[in-house]
């Protein structure tokens, strides 16, 4: 910069400065782009829904250089280098899946995140404990680095993560090495959200609260406010379920919140017991523990949700827990289908979209404006069809329910680059 005057510098940055001063978040694209500049991609005519700005209506979305630069009733076709016609389709921010398994080749149950895109419209996904400290670097270097989808992770408190699945990772408590786990957190604050632990009896056997306590200690040792993601479903005893809930801190994530899975002896030890919501569950919810769905292949029971939700424990986030086993199960836990089940349970379209965009984005808290369609947000877009008509849903315990609509994935754009046509050159920069 030495040969540059301050005036040259201002001339270069002037349009951005002016845009900031005039309120770039609310004004049109001309604030950031010249009026003759073209958008790389315009998504035209969709029914746009963005809970982050209470927006619902027909809008065109203009994306340039990977970023949303305009969201307006009409963007002239002449200003678009490429166009996607979204007429009659629902357009939201790219969906965010807070609990899924996206570590292929390194854990036994992972699916490539990019292969999920056409089934889920997910532009951001969180690996829920696929890796422990021993195989976390391989997840970052070999999987995340070559995926188009944005990937974050909870590191497992067990040093082997889910690599030995279906062999339980914590029958031997020695696998839970809290100092090593804390080191992983300390070294990856831009990538990790916190620590995963699975508390089911068939995972931890008789170790009680110890795995959870070690996870919390790792979070508290690492130097930044890491969260726990705690998997429940079939914990050893009824009492243990309340004790787990009592240990969770505000901001920690309870996943499989509506599991109806039994423990090894066949007893039902979940947050609804004998038809009643546990007081410890309501207390956890009220002090700010996040309730996540994590549907999966065995972890979502309509009859548990029927009691827990009216009792005060609605979900904060909807996630799939999709992996190679759950993806082949009758409940079909692909994220838009799980969102559709919550519409059947009485939540609005706006609510289920918020629970799969803005709400998980807030928990991830690693990238500005993900989960929104605000000007300046990454060009991550989900285009879905809201199919109205009779539809039948099944949970993971073979309960069936009839619904009136479901969400069907149509097209996904990540960082301004669509999956499938229309392609751009260079194909991607990020």
CA 399 to chain centre: 26
Residue whose CB is less far from Zn ion, 69 or 321: 321
Residue whose CB is less far from Zn ion, 300 or 342: 300
Runs of H (alpha helix) within 194-287: 201-204, 210-221, 238-247, 279-286
- Dist CA 426 CA 393 (whole Å): 42
Query: At residue 164, what are phi and psi to the nearest 5 degrees?
Result: -95, 0
- Which residue number places its CB atom closest to Zn ion? 321
DSSP label at 178?
H
- Dist CA 219 CA 152 (whole Å): 16
CB of 321 vs Zn ion, minimal distance in Å? 4
Runs of H (alpha helix) within 196-260: 201-204, 210-221, 238-247
Residue whose CB is less far from Zn ion, 125 or 313: 125
Residues interacting with Zn ion, by CB under 5 A?
128, 321
CB of 421 vs Zn ion, minimal distance in Å? 33
Residue whose CB is less far from Zn ion, 50 or 97: 97
CB of 20 vs Zn ion, minimal distance in Å? 42
Residue whose CB is less far from Zn ion, 129 or 371: 129
Is residue 319 packed enough to be buried (19+ CB in 10 Å), middle (13-18) or exposed (0-12)?
buried
CB of 304 vs Zn ion, minimal distance in Å? 17
Residue whose CB is less far from Zn ion, 19 or 293: 293
- Dist CA 377 CA 24 (whole Å): 12
CB of 231 vs Zn ion, minimal distance in Å? 6
Pairing of strands 276-277, 272-273: antiparallel
CB of 103 vs Zn ion, minimal distance in Å? 11
Q: Is 132 in contact with 181 (CB distance < 8 Å)?
A: yes
């Amino acid at each position: 910069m030495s040969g540059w005057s301050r005036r040259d510098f201002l001339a270069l940055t002037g349009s951005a400065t002016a845009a900031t001063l005039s309120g770039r978040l609310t004004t049109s694209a001309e604030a950031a782009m010249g009026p003759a500049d073209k958008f790389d991609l315009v998504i035209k005519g969709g029914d746009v829904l963005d809970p982050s700005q209470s927006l619902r209506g027909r809008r065109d979305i203009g994306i340039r250089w990977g970023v949303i630069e305009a969201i307006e009733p009409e963007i002239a076709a002449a200003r678009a280098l490429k166009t996607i016609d979204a007429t009659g389709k629902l357009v939201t921010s790219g969906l965010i899946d807070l609990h899924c398994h996206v570590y292929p080749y390194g854990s036994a149950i992972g699916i490539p995140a990019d292969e999920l895109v056409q089934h889920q419209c997910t532009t951001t996904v969180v690996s829920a404990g696929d890796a422990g400290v021993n195989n976390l670097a391989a997840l970052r270097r070999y999987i995340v680095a070559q995926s188009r989808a944005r990937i974050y992770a909870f590191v497992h408190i067990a040093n082997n993560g889910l690599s030995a699945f279906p062999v339980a990772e914590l029958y031997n408590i020695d696998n839970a090495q809290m100092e090593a786990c804390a080191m992983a957190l300390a070294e990856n604050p831009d990538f990790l959200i916190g620590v995963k632990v699975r508390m089911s009896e068939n995972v931890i056997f008789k170790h009680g609260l110890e795995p959870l306590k070690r996870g919390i200690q790792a979070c508290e040792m690492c130097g930044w406010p890491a969260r726990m993601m705690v998997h429940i479903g079939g914990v050893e005893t009824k009492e243990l379920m309340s004790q787990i809930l009592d240990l969770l801190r505000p901001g920690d994530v309870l996943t499989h919140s509506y599991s109806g899975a039994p423990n090894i002896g066949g007893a039902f030890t979940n947050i609804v017991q004998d038809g009643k919501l546990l007081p410890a569950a309501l207390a956890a919810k009220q002090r700010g523990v996040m309730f996540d769905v994590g549907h999966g292949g065995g972890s979502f029971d309509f009859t548990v949700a029927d009691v827990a939700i009216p009792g005060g424990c609605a979900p904060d986030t909807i996630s799939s827990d999709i992996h190679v086993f759950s993806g082949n199960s009758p409940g079909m836990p692909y994220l838009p289908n799980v969102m559709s089940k919550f519409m059947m349970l009485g939540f609005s379209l706006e609510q289920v979209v918020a629970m799969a965009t803005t709400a998980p984005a807030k928990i991830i808290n690693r990238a500005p404006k993900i989960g929104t369609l605000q000007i300046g947000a990454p060009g991550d877009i989900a285009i879905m069809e809201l199919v109205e008509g009779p539809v039948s849903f099944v949970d993971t315990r073979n309960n069936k329910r009839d619904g009136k609509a479901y969400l069907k994935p149509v097209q996904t754009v990540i960082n301004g680059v669509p999956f499938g046509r229309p392609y751009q050159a260079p194909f991607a920069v990020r």
